[in-house]
Amino acid sequence: MIEKNPSPAAPVQHFIRSIVEADLASGKHQGIATRFPPEPNGYLHVGHAKSICLNFGLAQDYQGTCNLRFDDTNPEKESEEYANAIQEDVRWLGFEWNGPVRWASDYFQALYDYAENLILQGKAYVCDLTPEEMREFRGTLTEPGRPSPYRERSPDENLDLFRRMKAGEFPDGSRTLRVRIDMASPNINMRDPVIYRIKRAHHIRTGDQWCIYPMYDYTHCISDALECITHSLCTLEFEDHRPLYDWVLDQLPVPSHPRQIEFSRLELHYTITSKRKLLQLVTQGVVSGWDDPRMPTIHGMRRRGYTPAGIREFARRIGISKSENVVDMAVLEGAVREDLEARAPRVMAVVNPVKVVLSNYQEGLTTSRSAGFHPNHPEFGEREVPIAQEIWIEQDDFAETPPPGWQRLTPGGEVRLRYSYVIKCEEVVKGADGRILELRCTIDHDTLGKNPVGRKVKGVIHWVSAAHALAIEVRLYDRLFLDPEPDGHKDRDFLEFLNPDSLRQVAGWAETCVGQAEPETRYQFERLGYFCADRFEHQPGRRPVFNRTVTLKDSWAREQA
């Protein structure tokens, strides 16, 4: 089935674009080079999607380059699974990195050599303080720190100790390498921060070659410089780390000095973006995995049926700034919904069925019609919409005692079947328990493709022929949390706010044309929402499994009121 790709909207101007344009106009840079530097310790989430769209999008718009570089300096939490998933996510979102995938571990030897350079300059020293002692010596926001008793070791002694650290002579955590800056600095990050620690951990790329590993702040700036990045973009929590970024590069003979620029991180209502807490959801079995369609991970959003274009449009709409970026889930859902409106073929399905028997159905007299897959895209083609004596309609489309303004089926009332006849409900058949077993209706055979004479039928409902319909498994996903800020309550566990109805699995019926759909094919089930053939469990021709991506309109706020 064809999925139409709408033309992308124009980029939104923001302060980082203004900086880039000024740097290019002044000749400071002939071209721009950005990078996306994830740590391979989990799956990427919607906040990372914002960063991906920013870094790769700027490179595209200004004919520059964007590197993908893994920050693999914390070997205990990193894995190839995460690294592979991250690469898949970047490509799925529509971007390609410059050259090969890069890793911080590519620079381990260079980072070590630069550390020796700092030692020989008298700007780094080996410290024997324990982590607890180091915190005590660091001071507070209002009180300066105190120098380590090991701060005045000579360069020769420090070099010897550092080389012995590398050689594995000392226990884990017994010594660190710190840079000598200013223990009285009002910025705590500048109070002789650690740049190397001893950690015997198997690394996913270097194995057991190293038992000392560099810290992120030290690694990141040098990696940027070695790759000649022009604009190093990161979220606001790193603003206080920028002086350290610049200080390290100012001390070393690196080939470039990138400019670090900070922007606000994304906070999305009704979800969480802490990797630690997302991992908790997975390990505790709250969700089925990192790719559970309720998760805010890119893998989860993909499996739910979100489109790359919809996520990119979301990133465009929320913009880039230094101010707080708290966004309601409806903005994301709206961007995805609008993208699917243009690209998804439309079919009929029933997910809460009740049987309707058409008592005056006559073979040869009661006929079918064809219908297009999209009213605005005739190129999507058409399919036959068959009818039979028994059909399925939604239970929600029938009411014995209808509320005011009801325009669907009632006892004695009429409604039009989408693409077919007007029918009238003549009888309601119930079981011993009072539940409706079936509705018996008659067809007005003179209404196929035209209005009835002398009366107006307002309601139109969707349906499927029981004799022709395909049985499908439907997963009705909703927001994972009931509270807009589940992680914003200091005295309560975020798990207290889980939505017990975030997933309902039901058996439904759909037009047979969806049965051969490949995984990740998206449809609008008319009047119900947008649905996607499950990426892993949907089996064309054998086991149709569809995930609800998003409803046709945002009803969450009204339902929660």
- Residue 265 falls in the annotated catalytic set: yes
Residue 322 has φ and ψ, to the nearest 5°, of: -100, -5
Catalytic choice (50, 102, 175, 275): 275
Rounded-to-integer distance, Cα 557 and Cα 554, Å: 7
Contact 277, 486 (CB under 8 A): no
* Residue 158 reports pLDDT greater than 60: yes
The CA-to-CA distance between both ends of the chain, in Å, stands at 39
Q: What is the mean pLDDT of residues 30-39?
A: 98
Residues 89 and 117 in one domain: no
Catalytic choice (4, 151, 205, 265): 265
Contact 511, 347 (CB under 8 A): yes
Rounded-to-integer distance, Cα 162 and Cα 212, Å: 10
Contact 198, 174 (CB under 8 A): yes
- Residue 39 falls in the annotated catalytic set: yes
* Residue 123 reports pLDDT greater than 90: yes
Domain assignment present for residue 500? The answer is no
Residues 362 and 314 in one domain: no
Residues 323 and 415 in one domain: no
Helix axes of 329-343 and 308-318: crossing angle, nearest 10 degrees: 140
pLDDT tens digits, one per residue of 343-396: 999 999 999 999 999 999 999 899 999 999 999 999 999 999 999 999 999 999
Give residues with Cβ within 8 angstroms of 83, minimum separation 6: 40, 70, 72, 204
Q: Last residue of a domain, which of 466, 481, 499?
A: 466
Q: Where are the beta strands (DSSP E) in 130-286?
A: 176-179, 194-198, 212-214, 231-235, 259-263, 266-268
pLDDT of residue 10: 79
Three-state DSSP state, 203: strand
pLDDT of residue 9: 74
pLDDT band for 557, please (50, 70, 90 cuts): low
Q: Which amino acid is at 81?
A: E
pLDDT of residue 204: 96
Rounded-to-integer distance, Cα 534 and Cα 472, Å: 11
Contact 333, 308 (CB under 8 A): no
Q: Last residue of a domain, which of 466, 494, 523?
A: 466
Domain assignment present for residue 393? The answer is yes
pLDDT band for 1, please (50, 70, 90 cuts): very low
pLDDT band for 559, please (50, 70, 90 cuts): low
Residues 126 and 160 in one domain: yes
* Residue 312 reports pLDDT greater than 80: yes
Residues 331 and 381 in one domain: no
Q: Where are the beta strands (DSSP E) in 254-379?
A: 259-263, 266-268, 325-327, 346-347, 349-350, 353-358, 369-372
* Residue 534 reports pLDDT greater than 90: yes
Three-state DSSP state, 42: coil
Express as a percent the part of the chain with pLDDT over 70.
97
Domain assignment present for residue 43? The answer is yes
Residues 249 and 333 in one domain: yes
Residues 235 and 196 in one domain: no
Catalytic choice (39, 262, 333, 511): 39
Read off the CATH number of the domain in which 188 is found: 3.90.800.10
Q: Is 423 exposed, middle or buried (0-12, 13-18, 19+ CB in 10 A)?
A: buried
* Residue 5 reports pLDDT greater than 60: no
How far are the Cα atoms of 72, 125, 140, 222, 271 from residue 115, in angstroms, in the given order?
18, 10, 27, 11, 41
Residues of the domain holding 145: 107-214
Rounded-to-integer distance, Cα 130 and Cα 116, Å: 22
Domain assignment present for residue 74? The answer is yes
Residues 119 and 84 in one domain: no
Q: What is the mean pLDDT of residues 280-303?
A: 98
Q: Last residue of a domain, which of 414, 438, 466?
A: 466
Domain assignment present for residue 399? The answer is yes
Q: Which 8-state DSSP code applies to residue 192?
A: S
Contact 551, 524 (CB under 8 A): no
Residue of 472, 492, 463 lying closest to 396 (CA atoms): 463
Rounded-to-integer distance, Cα 419 and Cα 372, Å: 10
Residue of 269, 225, 233 lying closest to 251 (CA atoms): 225
Domain assignment present for residue 408? The answer is yes
Read off the CATH number of the domain in which 226 is found: 3.40.50.620
pLDDT band for 555, please (50, 70, 90 cuts): low
Domain assignment present for residue 537? The answer is no
* pTM summary value: 0.94
Residues 250 and 398 in one domain: no
pLDDT of residue 2: 44
Residues 210 and 229 in one domain: no
* Residue 7 reports pLDDT greater than 70: no
Residues 177 and 128 in one domain: yes
pLDDT tens digits, one per residue of 433-450: 999 999 999 999 999 999
Q: What is the mean pLDDT of residues 317-332?
A: 95
Q: Which 8-state DSSP code applies to residue 495?
A: G
Q: Where are the beta strands (DSSP E) in 431-520?
A: 436-444, 460-461, 463-465, 470-477, 503-510
Weakest-pLDDT range from 363-377, 401-415, 543-557: 543-557
Q: Which 8-state DSSP code applies to residue 100?
A: S
Residues 145 and 206 in one domain: yes
Domain assignment present for residue 347? The answer is no
Give residues with Cβ within 8 angstroms of 9, minimum separation 6: 313, 316
Higher pLDDT, 458 or 507: 507
How far are the Cα atoms of 46, 476, 513, 522, 530 from residue 544, in angstroms, in the given order?
28, 14, 11, 13, 15
Structure tokens at 351: 């997910």
Read off the CATH number of the domain in which 453 is found: 2.40.240.10
- Total domains in the chain come to 3
